[in-house]
Amino acid sequence: MSKTKITVNNNGSLIIDGDFQIVDKNGKEYHLGGREKVSLCRCGRSANKPFCDGSHRGHFEHEATAFDLPTKS
């Protein structure tokens, strides 16, 4: 079984790719119309949250560079 991959885009969304499920706070599933890859908004501007609608363009800056979290205590 392959890992689910989340890609943090520069200045934009999170792309989730692989075997995943997205649910709301009550556990109800967002049906994805057969998509195995979707973009999730992380800028807060999308009118279609939790999905990215492109509204981040020109309004959100973050250079994504991976780093290590401290050990969980």
Q: Binding segment for ligand FES among 16-24, 29-37, 53-61, 64-72 (CB under 6 A)?
A: 53-61
Q: Closest separation between CB of residue 40 and ligand FES, Å?
A: 7
Indicate whether 55 belongs to the interface with ligand FES (CB under 6 A): yes
Cβ atoms within 10 A of the Cβ of 46, count? 18
**Cα 51 to the center of its chain, rounded Å:** 7
**65/8 Cα distance (integer angstroms):** 8
Query: Which positions lie near ligand FES, rule CB under 6 A?
Result: 12-13, 41-43, 45-46, 52-56
